[in-house]
Amino acid sequence: MASRIPWFERTFEYRPPVECGKDILERLRGTPARLEDRLADIPPASATRRPQGQWSIQENVGHLSDLEPLWRGRVEDFQDKKPVLRPADLSNQRTHEANHNQRSLRDVLAEFRNTRRLLVEMLGPMTITEYAWESRHPRLDQPMRLVDLAWFVAEHDDHHLVRISEMLEG
């Protein structure tokens, strides 16, 4: 597999213009379809294989679902004008305990589509003024605007899509 920067080692310096909020929203809206397209013909054994003890393809998809309550909660933090966004569980305990490989890939994908729809519905009506709301990201210890959060989530989606693609190709 290609060498990539692990998620927790990444820094985020790009600050998209607040006017790009709706553009980024389209990336978020499209992630379920991208996953479904990429995984349409994958056999169950391939979806649940855990290379080198890492998450399977199916667990990567499940992990995206597992984080949706965090993303929605952080949108609520912006709405509530909280100075610091709620922290993530950096151990990913929810994903480790979820047994995503015991379910069908179809169900895991459907769950992600349904839970992502909730985030898209929250962000959809946001205005440019609201996309400029700012709070502090707890792990990165830097200011983050709502538009930055949307971009951060889209980048996280792509991080896992790349991982899935590497497993499909490897």
What is the spatial distance between Cα 54 and Cα 57, in angstroms, rounded to a whole number?
A: 9
Residue 3 domain-assigned (yes or no): no
What is the spatial distance between Cα 82 and Cα 75, in angstroms, rounded to a whole number?
A: 10
Residue 90 domain-assigned (yes or no): yes
- Provide the whole-model pTM: 0.91
**Distant-in-sequence, close-in-space partners of 53: CB < 8 Å, separation ≥ 6:** none
Domain that holds residue 39: 19-169
Buried b (16+ CB within 10 A) or exposed e, 143-169: ebbbbbbbbbbbebbebbbebbeebee
What is the spatial distance between Cα 42 and Cα 38, in angstroms, rounded to a whole number?
A: 8
Residue 4 has a pLDDT of 75
What are 104-134's pLDDT values in tens digits?
999 999 999 999 999 999 999 999 999 999 9
What is the spatial distance between Cα 54 and Cα 61, in angstroms, rounded to a whole number?
A: 13
Residue 2 domain-assigned (yes or no): no
Residue 55 domain-assigned (yes or no): yes
What is the spatial distance between Cα 54 and Cα 75, in angstroms, rounded to a whole number?
A: 30
CATH number for the domain including 59?
1.20.120.450
Residue 109 domain-assigned (yes or no): yes
Residue 1 domain-assigned (yes or no): no
- Domains identified in the chain, total number: 1
Please list the pLDDT of the chain residue by residue as tens digits (170 residues). Answer: 445 777 667 666 668 999 999 999 999 999 999 999 999 999 999 999 999 989 999 999 999 999 999 999 999 999 999 999 999 999 999 999 999 999 999 999 999 999 999 999 999 999 999 999 999 999 999 999 999 999 999 999 999 999 999 999 97
Residue 129 domain-assigned (yes or no): yes
Residue 8 domain-assigned (yes or no): no
Helix ranges restricted to H, 2-144 = 21-38, 44-48, 57-79, 93-97, 105-123, 128-131
